[in-house]
Amino acid sequence: MWEKFGVFEYNKSTFESLLKGRLLYDFVILVATKDDLVWWRNVIDSVPRDNVIFEFGLYLGALGEARTILLQESGAKLPTDLNGITLPRFDIKKKNLESKLQEVSTFIEENIKHNEFQILPSTALAVGYFHSFLKHATAILIETKDCVRIKDTNYSCKQIKVIIPDTLSDDIAEKAKVFFDTHGIELSEIQNGKRPFKIQFAYDSSDPNHVVIIDIPFTLNTIRHCCSLLLKKSNIGLGNTQQIIEQREILNFKSTLENLVAQNDYCKKVVTIYFESEYTK
């Protein structure tokens, strides 16, 4: 039931609360059972409640067909627009609801592996970060055969560590500066690329001639701004809903980035992605 998951809030309309739900959840399952009888064209039909069909359309538009599932009871009449669509159907008399739920579970497990573009921007931000920074940085390492020139000294460099903040802040750049200062990470430029390329780096404690490129994606700033706009936030401080949404977006950003790295032969050799709390030199 929706009310068990904190969708409906005091002093908010049902519609407004349902719209908020599209920001909170990765998948939605709606069950179309034979709840009502309607007299239609001289025929009595068993149909689901109107709100079930409405919510199916709402979340189908927001999350897409791979993340919105309508579980139909056999004999429950659906709108003709849904004719020809393969839906999971169960029959109470055949007692096959459990097996259908297992099919739905398998469907979700498969589709959760794929990152899709949604209302909030984490997937697009991860794609942009991968192509604008990671591919560029790894291309330099390929060209220089894992040797970089920093501060007029040559170093071996075979690692790029991407650090994802555990939580967002109003300014990721400030958060990153605190992190870099805490861990002794320096800012400089790679001098022997086709053009100077700014990086953060740390010396390998086990090898003074080896450095590790370390980066925190500043593009994550966009997530908080978008959350505030979509939630029509006017107060100071973060509510529980925004914290949940931001955490979901952070996880999706990391997952998308990991999938992109895994598909690139050189990136997957040199790039590792950590949460802030997991980082060690």
Lowest average pLDDT, out of 59-68, 171-180, 229-238, 253-262, goes to 229-238
Q: Residue 33 in contact with residue 48, Cβ under 8 Å?
A: yes
Mean pLDDT of the chain: 85
In the prediction, which pLDDT does 114 show? 75
- Helix (H) or strand (E) run with residue 29 in it: strand 28-32
On the CB side of 260, how many CA atoms lie within 13 Å of its CA?
A: 22
For helices 14-24 and 50-63, give the axis angle rounded to 10 degrees: 40
Per-residue pLDDT, averaged over 74-102, amounts to 86
CA distance linking residue 194 with residue 217, whole number of Å: 23
Distances (CA, A) of 257 to 115, 123, 132, 231: 10, 8, 12, 26
Q: How confident is the model at residue 11 (pLDDT cuts 50, 70, 90)?
A: confident
Lowest average pLDDT, out of 3-7, 9-13, 146-150, goes to 3-7
In the prediction, which pLDDT does 178 show? 92
User: Which two tokens mark 219?
Assistant: 């593009």
pLDDT for residue 231 is more than 80? no
Contact residues for 27 (Cβ-Cβ < 8 A; gap 6+): 63, 67, 68, 69, 108, 111, 112
**Cβ neighbours of 173 (radius 10 Å):** 10
Per-residue pLDDT, averaged over 154-165, amounts to 92
Q: Residue 156 in contact with residue 141, Cβ under 8 Å?
A: no
DSSP assignment letter at 38 = E
For helices 14-24 and 240-262, give the axis angle rounded to 10 degrees: 30
In the prediction, which pLDDT does 193 show? 55
CA distance linking residue 199 with residue 96, whole number of Å: 57
Per-residue pLDDT, averaged over 157-169, amounts to 92
In the prediction, which pLDDT does 165 show? 94
Per-residue pLDDT, averaged over 130-137, amounts to 90
